Amino acid sequence: MKMSKLFVQTLREYPNDAEAISHKLLVRAGFIKKLANGIYTYMPLAQRVLTKISNIVREEMNSSGAQELLMPFVQPAEIWQKSKRWQVYGKELLRVKDRHDVDMCLAPTHEEVITTVVGEVVNSYKQLPVNLYQIQTKFRDEIRPRFGLLRGREFIMKDAYSFHTSQEDLEREYKVMGDTYTRIFNRCGLETKAVQSDSGAIGGNVSHEYMVLVDTPTGENDVFYCENCNYSANSNHAQSILLNETTDGGFEKEEIVDTPNTKTIEELAKFLNTKPECILKAVAYIADSKPVIAMIRGDKEIEETKLLNALQALEIRPMENDEIVKYLNSAPGFISYLGVDKNKVKVLFDKTASGMKNFVIGANIKDKHIVGKNLEEGIEFVDISTVKEGELCPCCKKPLKVTKGIEVGNIFQLGTKYSQPMQACYTDPEGQLKPFIMGCYGIGVSRTMAAAIEKYHDDFGIIWPKEIAPFHVDIVPVNIDDAQQAKIAYDLYNKLCELNIETVIDDRADRAGVKFKDADLIGFPIRITVGKTISEGLVEFKTRKDGAVSKLTFEEAVKECQKILLN
Ligand code: ATP
Ligand code: MG
């Protein structure tokens, strides 16, 4: 490819609407163009990277026995009503009407279609198991599209769905897919960590996310992990053992006390000469328009994903002050579960409350708390709290660490979540109709491209891992008008192309400095400069990854390319 012909526009400056480095670099290096919020054109350079990632995904999925198909992107509401997700998916599902006034939607995921298809094709247990996948555009009307391709509204996903006759067979395939994912990401030059996760809108019981660990806010997930035993989990799912599971406030008598000007837990603790962990805090929410109080130890916070799951609710939000007065008949800042009508207000106790004795709790009256309180017998505790770094691993009791991660893949054991409501069944050996036992497996193809940049870049631009680089080599003749330089550069170019090495020759009449800048920005793994040293029969060979420069003969340069790229 001649640089003069490559359809690319690099920019001098970073775009001013970008925060994430991958977003900045994808735009500045001419890989993507924004059309609307969260919606981008993949320019030729990006398309080459996406094709490479997709091919790696294909090769590995095929070799693990999955088969590729392609499902419709526009889908009728009917199948979503059947799975009951039409009502529950919320605004991320972009709904449209066709000319006949029929409800349709743009696919955010494909469980409904694949379950319908397999339900129609598979009759007998003899046709199972089967694993089908596609690589396709998805649309999710994300509430906060950001970070460019990391969280777009339109994005490319590989999604696979497997169908089984037993939980054991599903677990076997789940493991196969997990190993396949590790191989796929490794081949893309990315190390990933498989962490336990919440199943979210896709549903099911067991799921793992494949995280690229990064130390920047673009890692939107907090990952807790144990260096001793390999436990790791997304913060929305992580568990821990507290350093001090039991606390005693030491108040001998239960009584109401004045606590003026104590707005925070810390101020209250100081005022009463106690510790936050001796205060039982109440946090009020509205869950699917119903009032809820979550009771939790004062030094801990509510993990809203866990709370949502414990309530089996679709949406939660904090209660407003006027709602606290209305629903709880309480003073904001001083609320507790005591005295609320349990028929009207749902009360949950986090497991951290279970070890508390003689604690402090709101008195439902402004500027007043009760001290020396103890919980009644028979309370059921649930896990609805966040984990903090340093708390102990639930498996081996060693301190947990935390890091940030970008979720590039996700695998789920779905069970019969879709086959049951959609009545997608097969006949077992006894002639009985049984719903399929399903798994599903996603990879964010476009997000993986961005994650690779988050991981591999420097102040000058992108540093592509060679496996997914848009081109391998950039040949830069310092002066294209110099006939001898041009000849050697073209000879080298032809030779590398013959060897199937993807090469660009920068035939533009620009200054060498401009060409070097673009080479670094776009991130070619190898740059070969053809300049004055050709009088000594040498070219300059530079590897992007480490910046190492050497002077090589024409033949040595070709060999070095082969050595670096083809193994
Ligand atoms: P997230 O928690 O980041 O919103 P998700 O868990 O909802 O993602 P899945 O349904 O698990 O996403 O989709 C499978 C994969 O698709 C994800 O692991 C991720 O790599 C990718 N993906 C999901 N949403 C987006 C998005 N808005 N933009 C780009 N890639 C995405
Ligand atoms: Mg996910």
Q: What is the model's pLDDT at position 122?
A: 97
Identify whether the C-beta of residue 408 lies closer than 8 Å to the C-beta of residue 443. yes
Q: Is residue 180 scored above 90 in pLDDT?
A: yes
pLDDT band at 315 (very low <50, low <70, confident <90, very high): confident
- Residue 308 has a CB neighbour count (10 Å cut-off) of 20
Q: How far is the CA of 301 from the centre of ligand 1 (A)?
A: 26
Q: What is the model's pLDDT at position 516?
A: 97
Single-letter amino acid code for the residue at 453: I
The string of pLDDT tens digits covering residues 44-54 is 999 999 999 99
Q: Is residue 567 scored above 80 in pLDDT?
A: no
The string of pLDDT tens digits covering residues 232-253 is 999 999 999 999 999 999 999 9
Q: What is the model's pLDDT at position 201?
A: 59
Q: Please compute the mean of the pLDDT values over residues 469-487 and round it to a whole number.
A: 96
H or E segment and range at residue 106: strand 103-106
Identify whether the C-beta of residue 353 lies closer than 8 Å to the C-beta of residue 375. yes
Residue with tokens 């599209």: 145
In sequence order, what DSSP letters do the residues of 463-481 get, joined into one string?
---GGG-S-SEEEEES-TT
Q: Please compute the mean of the pLDDT values over residues 385-398 and round it to a whole number.
A: 96
Q: Is residue 475 scored above 70 in pLDDT?
A: yes
Average pLDDT, whole number, for the chain?
96
Q: Is the CB of 157 under 6 A from ligand 1?
A: yes
Which residue ranges form the domains of the chain, and what is each CATH number?
A: 21-73+106-239+402-454 (3.30.930.10), 247-382 (3.90.960.10), 471-565 (3.40.50.800)
Q: What ligand is nearest to the CA atom of residue 37? A: 1
Q: Please compute the mean of the pLDDT values over residues 508-518 and round it to a whole number.
A: 96
Residue with tokens 């555009």: 137
Distance CA 491, CA 117 (A): 53
Quick one: which atom of ligand 1 is closest to the CA of 142? 27
Q: Is residue 204 scored above 70 in pLDDT?
A: no
- Taken in order 77, 205, 405, 114, the sign of the CA dihedral is negative
Q: What is the model's pLDDT at position 292?
A: 97
Q: What is the model's pLDDT at position 199?
A: 78
- Residue 494 has a CB neighbour count (10 Å cut-off) of 12
Burial class (CB in 10 A: 0-12, 13-18, 19+), 355: middle
Above pLDDT 90, what percent of the chain?
A: 95
Q: What is the model's pLDDT at position 131?
A: 98
Q: Which tokens belong to 67?
A: 């088969």
pLDDT band at 527 (very low <50, low <70, confident <90, very high): very high
Identify whether the C-beta of residue 281 lies closer than 8 Å to the C-beta of residue 296. yes
- Residue 189 has a CB neighbour count (10 Å cut-off) of 16
Q: How far is the CA of 411 from the centre of ligand 2 (A)?
A: 8
Q: Which tokens belong to 202?
A: 């896709």
pLDDT band at 43 (very low <50, low <70, confident <90, very high): very high
CB within 5 A of ion ligand 2: which residues?
410
Q: Is the CB of 455 under 6 A from ligand 1?
A: no
Q: Please compute the mean of the pLDDT values over residues 378-401 and round it to a whole number.
A: 96
Q: Can you list the positions of beta strands (E) in 393-509?
A: 401-415, 425-427, 433-435, 437-444, 457-458, 461-462, 473-477, 503-505
- Residue 514 has a CB neighbour count (10 Å cut-off) of 13
Task: Calculate helix-pair angle for 44-63, 445-455, nearest 10 degrees.
Answer: 110
> 471 — phi, psi (to 5°)?
-135, 160
Identify whether the C-beta of residue 27 lies closer than 8 Å to the C-beta of residue 34. yes
Q: Which residues contact 8 (CB under 8 A, 6 or more apart)?
A: 30, 43, 44, 45, 522
- Residue 528 has a CB neighbour count (10 Å cut-off) of 28
Q: Is the CB of 413 under 6 A from ligand 1?
A: no
Residue 191 pairs with which residues in a beta bridge?
none
The string of pLDDT tens digits covering residues 399-447 is 999 999 999 999 999 999 999 999 999 999 999 999 999 999 999 999 9
Q: How far is the CA of 19 from the centre of ligand 2 (A)?
A: 22
- Residue whose CB lies within 8 A of the most ligand 1 atoms, among 37, 146, 447, for a mutation test: 447
Above pLDDT 70, what percent of the chain?
A: 99
H or E segment and range at residue 318: strand 316-318
Q: Is the CB of 148 under 6 A from ligand 1?
A: no
Q: Please compute the mean of the pLDDT values over residues 536-554 and round it to a whole number.
A: 97
Ramachandran area for residue 451 (φ above 0: left; ψ -120 to 50: alpha; else beta): alpha
Ramachandran area for residue 300 (φ above 0: left; ψ -120 to 50: alpha; else beta): beta
Q: How far is the CA of 200 from the centre of ligand 2 (A)?
A: 7
The string of pLDDT tens digits covering residues 112-151 is 999 999 999 999 999 999 999 999 999 999 999 999 999 9
The string of pLDDT tens digits covering residues 271-288 is 999 999 999 999 999 999
